[in-house]
Chain A
Amino acid sequence: MFAAVRGGVVHVSLWDALFGAFALPFMGRALVVLLVLALVAGVVGVLVNLRGLEFVSDGLTHAVFPGLAVGLAVGGTAGLLPGAAVAALLGAVALTWLARAGVTSDAGVAVVLTAAFSVGVIVVSKSDDYAGALEELLFGRVLTIPPDEVLPLVLVAAVALVIVLVTVKQQVFRAFDAAGSRAAGDSGFRLDLALNVAVALVVVAGASTVGSLLVLAFLVVPGAVARLASARLWPLFPIAAVFAALASWIGLAVGFAASVGAGVDLPAGSTVVAVFVLGYAVVLGIRLLRDAGERAA
């Protein structure tokens, strides 16, 4: 593999980028973590889309930030996941409670979001390597995940998936007809709490890999793509998960090819998210063409 070396730049074939690269341990780990994240975020993201919770998700990504910062300050990189988990669960409870208390969702989220972020930046600013730490927290470290952090990340994502799979019928019911769902005996508060906790756990899993800013793309883009691709309910979930998985894989491959093959050092997490957005643009284009075709017919 990578035999042809010419003038310091390694020749990377398409095969190498898409498959061979992942034989490298750090690339393999990145792929495993991103595929798990993609599967779970895709499924959770469909509910985020149906409930219109994109802004709440954004709030949670910011709420997690001070947890990451405190975790890093206290326990180094091993403290990231526990710190994020505590902050995310507190954020999820706070946002659910604010929504029930009748605080307009957007105002409540905006307050939690900015407050949390400022706390996070203050904590990070006390660290020795301010810029480096900030960058790692915001944009992740998908290629430098230590092997012993993979299992905790997978477990956190799995809990989010279980929460959503157990409540998904009732979540869709509530998304479609909140009053009808309450009349059928479902507790809106408990369903909202369950969904917000699931979102928060995805944010936790994503924040220490693709970073607390970019994980939002995992929660929002696949669900939006699925809505463009299908008007039927249950196919949305596999479509979103498969899209996220494909985009993660291609994103990692592109980043690898650019770095190793062309000497252009692309940050892996950002490259993955760029592929997500590109994929969204492609699906949107196809949908617009199809709609135009239907109108013409």
Chain B
Amino acid sequence: MSENVVLRLDDAAFTHPGGATVNGFDVAIRRGEAIALIGPNGAGKSTLLRGILGLVPLTHGRMAFGGGSDAGDAAEGADASNRAHASNRADASNRARDPKHADRSMLGFLPQSMEFDLDFPISLEQVVMQGRYRRLGLLRWPGRADRAAVRRALETVGLSDFAGKRFGQLSGGQRQRGLLARALASEPSLLLLDEPFNGLDQPNRDALVATLRRLKGDGVAVLVSTHDLELAQQVCDQVLLVNGRQLSYGPVAEVLTLGNVQRCFEGVEVEIDEHTLVVPGHEGH
């Protein structure tokens, strides 16, 4: 089982240089598994994702990619989510263990929808190729394998016909799918998505759900921060509730209860109906 783990966090904490911190993460993400990361605004969802990317320092515990790249995490067969916190703290050294830089080439990242300079002279294809740059490094230029990976990524998100189009000329939903293709072009074994459904219309939303399902089928692990319970139920196997720290982690049906969610959103009125998590004040986000 453990050789299928693509990311393992053992009592991990991530702290911004400014001081904001999220902690207590005991998570093991496996191939083909999707995890919904749910919590109120400011709960630290983005901090966790950025921490996994190495942009926010790991300040406690351990983080290991690919099952065994960090020799320090000898936790064969143990399910991190079941493990007792105390014993975990005991075996974790005080110095946090951050994996090697090179290990992160297995990560793909779709950032929260953001503003781009729409006049920037770059084609969709060239944006997607940026997903290959980490593998290429400074000196190498894209070759046949890279172009093939870009083609496949564009096919996966259904934008093959737009490859040569200037990125700024695409619609908002197409740009979002283009950035997903960029994340896929790196051929990640773990895909991190930060609020990918914000501002997407229904067709683009459906396309993204279909894409995520296909990726899971191909063995890609997915960690997606979202307010969208429909997505959590349609695509995800596990839910990770976060508010400053890990609150609960487990199968969707067990974790995603009204009580848990209300506790997570602390006083904010929350309802769960069949499709959505109704969180007042979060709609615009």
A-to-B contact residues, CB < 8 Å: 50, 166-167, 169-170, 172-173, 175-177, 179-186, 227, 230-233, 236
Contacts and interface: CB of A to CB of B under 8 A. Distances in A.
B121 A236 contact: yes
Given A166-B138, A169-B136, A184-B134, A177 B116 contact: yes
A167 B138 CA distance: 6
Contacts of A185: 54, 101, 104-105, 134
B166 interface: yes
Given A166-B139, A233-B126, A173 B133 contact: yes
Nearest to A236: B121
Interface residues of B, number: 30
Nearest to A52: B117
B121 A230 contact: yes
Contacts of A232: 121, 123
Given A169-B138, A177-B114, 5 more contacts: A176-B120, A181-B130, A227-B121, A232-B123, A236-B121
B102 to A, nearest CB: 9
Given A170-B138, A177-B116, A183 B55 contact: yes
B116 A233 contact: no
A169 B133 contact: yes
Nearest to B50: A183
A133 to B, nearest CB: 41
A182 B101 CA distance: 13
Given A173-B130, A233-B123, A233-B126, A183 B111 contact: yes
Contacts of B55: 182-183
A138 B25 CA distance: 60
Give the interface centre of A170, A179, A184, A185 by most chain B CB atoms within 10 Å. A184
A84 B280 CA distance: 60
B190 to A, nearest CB: 13
Interface in B132-160: 133-134, 136, 138-139, 141
A230 B119 CA distance: 11
B138 A183 contact: no
B127 interface: yes
Contact of B130 (A167, A180, A227, A236): A180
Nearest to A230: B121
B47 to A, nearest CB: 13
Contacts of A175: 120
Name the prevailing secondary structure of the A interface residues.
helix
B166 A179 contact: no
Given A167-B138, A169-B136, A177-B116, A184 B130 contact: yes
B109 interface: yes
The 7 closest A-B pairs by CB, nearest first: A183-B109, A231-B121, A184-B134, A173-B130, A183-B53, A233-B122, A233-B121
A183 B166 CA distance: 23
A137 to B, nearest CB: 36
A45 B154 CA distance: 31
Interface string B224-264: 00000000000000000000000000000000000000000
B60 to A, nearest CB: 22
A183 B131 CA distance: 10
A175 B114 CA distance: 14
A185 B137 CA distance: 10
A230 to B, nearest CB: 7
Contacts of B104: 185
A212 B50 CA distance: 43
B133 A170 contact: yes
Nearest to B109: A183
Nearest to B167: A176
Contacts of A176: 116-117, 120, 122, 127, 130
Contacts of B141: 169
A249 B127 CA distance: 36
Nearest to B102: A185
B43 to A, nearest CB: 20
Give the interface centre of A179, A181, A183, A236 by most chain B CB atoms within 10 Å. A183
Interface in B87-126: 101, 104-105, 109, 111, 114, 116-117, 120-123, 126
Contacts of A50: 120-121
Contacts of A231: 121, 166
Contacts of A169: 133, 136, 138, 141
Contact of B133 (A184, A227, A236): A184
A167 B139 CA distance: 8
A124 B171 CA distance: 56
A221 to B, nearest CB: 17
A232 B136 CA distance: 22
A176 B179 CA distance: 12
17 contacts: A50-B121, A166-B138, A173-B133, A176-B117, A176-B120, A176-B122, A179-B114, A180-B130, A180-B179, A181-B130, A183-B50, A183-B111, A185-B101, A185-B134, A230-B121, A231-B121, A232-B123
Contacts of B134: 184-185
B106 to A, nearest CB: 12
A187 B122 CA distance: 21
